[in-house]
Chain A
Amino acid sequence: GNSVTQMEGPVTLSEEAFLTINCTYTATGYPSLFWYVQYPGEGLQLLLKATKADDKGSNKGFEATYRKETTSFHLEKGSVQVSDSAVYFCALSNNQGGKLIFGQGTELSVKP
């Protein structure tokens, strides 16, 4: 079946540190991959996505590359800010009528 595994949080970083949040998936065929972000007290916002192998999604300084050989979609940012503190969800969509399969979420806290 389809599943997503994310690194467990919480992750605490100092401002301007480098961020990596690991995400691996299990799926048959060619899923689409997403990162969503949820700021405190808010809904989910799409951060970036990739729909085929070797695609790189990017937005607001965040990047993730769809690696089919390692079934991974790790989220990176070169220099985090306090405003990046949020919960980050990796998700996939795979021939289930658009249904999203979410990872467990990774809480990021950035300290000044």
Chain B
Amino acid sequence: DTEVTQTPKHLVMGMTNKKSLKCEQHMGHRAMYWYKQKAKKPPELMFVYSYEKLSINESVPSRFSPECPNSSLLNLHLHALQPEDSALYLCASSQVRLTGNTIYFGEGSWLTVV
């Protein structure tokens, strides 16, 4: 079963709100990723966790805060976002961080900042 589950599917938040996006996988994968995708553009990598430790932060603003509580879960905490942060946020996972390993994506969380 190659499934990455993301909640919520849709989120509307104000610029002063604090919210979180959640991601779960039960494939035993040890690498997990957050991507951001704007309409009609390719996904952009934000963060990578490997064995529950943050491995890559692609210079993402601090208003986005990732967390990996265990090997199956990945959260993205959102605070003081801007309207331009409205996008599709995709969680993904792979067995490990190696060239050739397939990265499996979830359905995404559609975020609107008002």
Q: What residues of chain A have their CB less than 8 Å away from a CB belonging to chain B?
A: 31-32, 34, 36, 42-46, 49, 51, 87, 89, 91, 93-100, 102-105, 107
Q: Is the CB of B45 within 8 A of A43?
A: no
A44 and B107 alpha carbons, distance in the complex (Å): 7
Task: Say yes or no for B48: interface residue by CB 8 A criterion.
Answer: yes
Contact with A along B16-48 (1 / 0, CB 8 A): 000000000000000100000000111101001
**Chain A nearest CB, measured from B67 CB (Å):** 20
Q: Is the CB of B40 within 8 A of A44?
A: no
- Determine which of B43, B90, B96, B106 lies in contact with A98 in the assembled complex, contact meaning CB atoms within 8 Å: B96
Q: Is the CB of A102 within 8 A of B50?
A: no
Residues of A within 8 A of B99 (CB): 31-32, 93-96, 98
Q: Is the CB of A44 within 8 A of B97?
A: no
Residues of A within 8 A of B94 (CB): 98
Q: Is the CB of A99 within 8 A of B45?
A: yes
Contact with A along B93-114 (1 / 0, CB 8 A): 0101111111111111000000
Residues of B within 8 A of A94 (CB): 99
